[in-house]
Amino acid sequence: MPLVRIDLAEGKSAEHRKRIGNIIYDAMRAIIGVPMDDKFQIITEHPLEEMNFPASYLGIEYSQDLIIIQMTISVGRTVEMKQTLYKRIADDLHTQLKIRREDVFINVVEVVKENWSFGNGVAQYV
């Protein structure tokens, strides 16, 4: 049920971008119970001049390698599950791809289940 949008500055290889997506998907499966094969991701590279963010916010210093991850998911996850998910993604991106934890920006958008159609014009979760 998640739809994940991943935005980053251009210049990374297709393999690097795919690994980012896989790391996020693996964390969602482990932490918030995303089903097998429920992997819908849009990964978009942007010229750096199209990425508009501050040098720092809330005491966090960003680099030009900032990755913005937006997950649209169904309602029902606890605050603790979300916090664990954020940490797991940042840690795994850092460990596996050497992405700074500070450069992992995550936003979750929660929607009710009738807001999903996976094809055929049917709301499968209703």
Q: Which residues are catalytic?
A: 2
**How many residues are listed for the chain in this entry?**
126
For residue 16, give the 3-state DSSP assignment: helix
CB distance 42 to 109 below 8 Å: no
| CA separation, residue 97 to residues 91, 120, 122 (Å) | 10, 37, 38
